[in-house]
Structure 1
């Protein structure tokens, strides 16, 4: 996509949002050039394109105006492919009802806490806290602790990503990084592309920011459908994509390097931002660590978001954005919300990364998770119906299960709760909330006798659902 086409897209979206109404004058060519930084020739070309499409009319000696019949043109545009997202109520209900400590935590969003180096982290936090002074709260405001950003940059450089400490902004966890990035790249009413089965945090952000979702086909076997993405980008005025290229949650796939490079190329052609959710980057099972799509970004159109929450400590809530030239803009967004992440925690994690054997911990963690994945898959094959399809992910700690009809994941979730077992219904990960034949299971806990018995119980429930039998107050069959 050329500069003038990008500018034309921006103005179309503003007219759709009624920032400029029918008959109103839009900014002059000179004013728009000054505001956007584009040359006057580029702005004029954009205006002429919009005039040829019927969005604007030119009046001699007066400038460009929104066409008088603009509403008819807007209503003739393709309808959004999905209805507005409405996920927050369901997500709140599931989280509230599955947080009891006496439930089997197969629905948990975090790995088994026993896998983390808690004592080492506490010692690092204590050591770092003793070295704090009265000015630490000010000197570690956004973009965050310099040593921590330097260490993160070092790890990326070793993967071939040319990034420095000043390109990184420390945030209050990975979700904060992702939300800040999406908010920077969009305005209310903008179109945002997400995978057809995606992390519920992306759906929450779209709902909160009043964005319009565009579903891109994705599957555990084939990954992200780049042809569908290209088609949707040509059909809808998409401003940003929120995608996972490594260990996609919940499907588990990792895109090849070639497909990541193609993805970045497609988005560059359409001048679209990629919010790259890479929070599972360290939890890979392959011989080599997969690179992020950001490696192929030459224009700072990829906002790479990472976190320590999935691989080191969920409670410490430290994440980051590799924002490049947009670093200052992300920091300004941060000042409007969280201001900064915890200073003692930044110092503590920085100390641990320097002295605590982080890479050794990661090697053990990956090995343990891979063993526990195999154990849960074996339990599913032993206890669940033969028709159950289960993913074999390239990393992370989630399995995605698919059942044939008749099956209702939310009713299954209700029945599992009655047995004191928490699972995540597939409807949490789908824009339309119609993923009624799927559930997500967390496999990070050791498959001891208690967990094995819980898996056997889930298998019995699944068989009853597929047989059309009721095993409790609610029936599992889809209606």
Structure 2
């Protein structure tokens, strides 16, 4: 007997009908009322089934029109798993990452370089009204200098949100910070000393590399798969052979690959951290953007010994301008609070209370579904244009949510050169060199599709592909001449 929930059984029957062609691509599904009557279930069950199918990218909701079977998704080869240098190394970055970030903010530049969502994706009016109410009610807090781990109301709201990530936290377990990167900085300061070895994904977020460099830490790159993330087997070998003091990773929708670690791997990583007395600094900033519930469960959910420090914020899902983050530091909570007092003191109380209210408002889950659906459409459009415009043999990631694509072009196409050519035409990209301690990703690039999106951006992607094609053709001619 099938023990899965009734809505999931219904969703799976609909999937079978789609796979067999009974429900054709692009066709309209029965209305909620019609399907409830046909199947003899409640309308609430049908709504849950349709939402499950929407998260699984099998159907799409159209305002005032109903649900439709998604068109066929373009199949492209994914990037190859990474095989980085197995030795820890000191990080010596050039200014390429900063150059990309500055260029992405220049007026008139069409930017795919930053991993930031644009304001048009969020309900800014809701955020404005909430902040105004809080300031009016709590104006006296503007005269107080904030200290401590954060307002109790916001820490309670974060603890409730953590339940959706599979974590049972107490408000006292949580320290508020000035954004997610501030949380990760505090976490690393709490668990390492200069010269220590920190294991990272390969490729990894360039901000992590900058942070490790500033803290004088050595980076050990771990093989990472574009779909399943950091190799726990390779990490386990490293823990036996090298003095790894901490692991920094983004297990859900990692930046830049967009990969998601399986839950079994997350559980195993938490066990390894406890057995080897190693800290795991987990970035959960993208978890709410993942399309499937089961992939949002954090490594922290499997932590029984306090070795996982979970860091996050809501800048990618609620309002980028609310520069507030949090960290649940486990056994290092007291140490981290002392570091925070020295490093940054407290946050603005009215912003914390506004965040607490936003997290508790009705409609938050619906807002997140709409955000995921909008980003899913962008990712599909961008992948299609990469397939049509970039050189033959190009590979591209297929993340289960978010707004980042990792593009692997044929060897010999230099993404740093492509960056210069694109920038000359007011198009900004993020070259693969930014995301590694060496030059192994020179032929790769990261595309962020979270900003402004429309005909200009689509045309810029086509032009980017044409420039990449020209570089590839030149490389082919050079190779033939040699």
Output the CA distance in 1 between the equivalents of 2:361 and 2:233.
46
SS in structure 1 at match of 2:343: coil
Aligned partner of 1:132 in structure 2 is 138
Asked if 1 retains the 8 angstrom alpha-carbon contact of 2:412 and 2:475, the reply is no
- 1:127-177: per-residue Cα shift (whole Å, max 9, x none)? 111122545665853210111111111122344322111101110000001
1:325/1:231 CA distance change after superposition, 3 Å = closer
- 1:303-345: per-residue Cα shift (whole Å, max 9, x none)? 0001111111222111100123432221211111121222221
Output the CA distance in 2 between the equivalents of 1:448 and 1:80.
42
Equivalent positions of 1:230-249 (< 5 A) are 230-249=236-255
- Structure 1 residue 253 and structure 2 residue 290: aligned? no
Output the CA distance in 2 between the equivalents of 1:80 and 1:361.
43
SS in structure 1 at match of 2:115: coil
Asked if 1 retains the 8 angstrom alpha-carbon contact of 2:159 and 2:171, the reply is yes
Aligned partner of 2:343 in structure 1 is 337
- Structure 1 residue 407 and structure 2 residue 417: aligned? no
- 1:222-272: per-residue Cα shift (whole Å, max 9, x none)? 421122111111111111010111111111111111111111112222110
Aligned partner of 1:93 in structure 2 is 99
- Structure 1 residue 296 and structure 2 residue 302: aligned? yes
1:137/1:329 CA distance change after superposition, 3 Å = farther
Output the CA distance in 2 between the equivalents of 1:416 and 1:469.
18
Aligned partner of 2:355 in structure 1 is 349
Output the CA distance in 2 between the equivalents of 1:137 and 1:180.
27
SS in structure 2 at match of 1:282: helix
1:237/1:287 CA distance change after superposition, 3 Å = closer
Asked if 1 retains the 8 angstrom alpha-carbon contact of 2:314 and 2:325, the reply is yes
Asked if 2 retains the 8 angstrom alpha-carbon contact of 1:376 and 1:447, the reply is no
- Structure 1 residue 147 and structure 2 residue 147: aligned? no
Aligned partner of 1:388 in structure 2 is 394
Equivalent positions of 1:435-446 (< 5 A) are 435-445=441-451
1:215/1:268 CA distance change after superposition, 3 Å = same
Structure showing greater radius of gyration is 1
Asked if 2 retains the 8 angstrom alpha-carbon contact of 1:167 and 1:325, the reply is no
Aligned partner of 1:365 in structure 2 is 371
Output the CA distance in 2 between the equivalents of 1:91 and 1:422.
12
CA RMSD across the alignment: 2.4
Output the CA distance in 2 between the equivalents of 1:209 and 1:445.
31
Equivalent positions of 1:63-462 (< 5 A) are 81-87=87-93, 89-134=95-140, 141-288=147-294, 290-355=296-361, 357-445=363-451, 447-462=453-468
Asked if 2 retains the 8 angstrom alpha-carbon contact of 1:82 and 1:432, the reply is no
Deviation at 1:200, TM superposition (A): 1.0
Normalising by structure 2, what TM-score? 0.78
1:293/1:137 CA distance change after superposition, 3 Å = farther
Asked if 2 retains the 8 angstrom alpha-carbon contact of 1:115 and 1:365, the reply is yes
Output the CA distance in 2 between the equivalents of 1:423 and 1:448.
17
Aligned partner of 2:72 in structure 1 is none
Gaps in structure 2 of 5+ consecutive residues: 1-84
Output the CA distance in 2 between the equivalents of 1:342 and 1:106.
31
Output the CA distance in 2 between the equivalents of 1:224 and 1:112.
29
Asked if 2 retains the 8 angstrom alpha-carbon contact of 1:82 and 1:431, the reply is no
SS in structure 2 at match of 1:399: strand
1:224/1:131 CA distance change after superposition, 3 Å = same
Asked if 2 retains the 8 angstrom alpha-carbon contact of 1:83 and 1:432, the reply is no
**Which sits farther off after the overlay, 444-453 or 317-326?**
444-453
Asked if 2 retains the 8 angstrom alpha-carbon contact of 1:129 and 1:347, the reply is no
**Which sits farther off after the overlay, 166-175 or 327-336?**
327-336
1:137/1:215 CA distance change after superposition, 3 Å = farther
Output the CA distance in 2 between the equivalents of 1:296 and 1:275.
14
Deviation at 1:382, TM superposition (A): 1.9
SS in structure 1 at match of 2:195: coil
SS in structure 2 at match of 1:198: coil
Asked if 2 retains the 8 angstrom alpha-carbon contact of 1:106 and 1:421, the reply is yes
SS in structure 2 at match of 1:336: helix
Output the CA distance in 1 between the equivalents of 2:465 and 2:205.
25
Output the CA distance in 2 between the equivalents of 1:136 and 1:112.
29
Output the CA distance in 2 between the equivalents of 1:83 and 1:239.
14
**Which sits farther off after the overlay, 348-357 or 316-325?**
348-357
Gaps in structure 1 of 5+ consecutive residues: 1-78
Output the CA distance in 2 between the equivalents of 1:219 and 1:201.
20
Output the CA distance in 2 between the equivalents of 1:141 and 1:88.
36
Deviation at 1:436, TM superposition (A): 0.4
SS in structure 2 at match of 1:468: helix
- 1:178-215: per-residue Cα shift (whole Å, max 9, x none)? 11101101001111110121011111111011011111
Deviation at 1:82, TM superposition (A): 3.9
**Which sits farther off after the overlay, 342-351 or 275-284?**
342-351
1:151/1:202 CA distance change after superposition, 3 Å = same
Output the CA distance in 2 between the equivalents of 1:446 and 1:386.
28
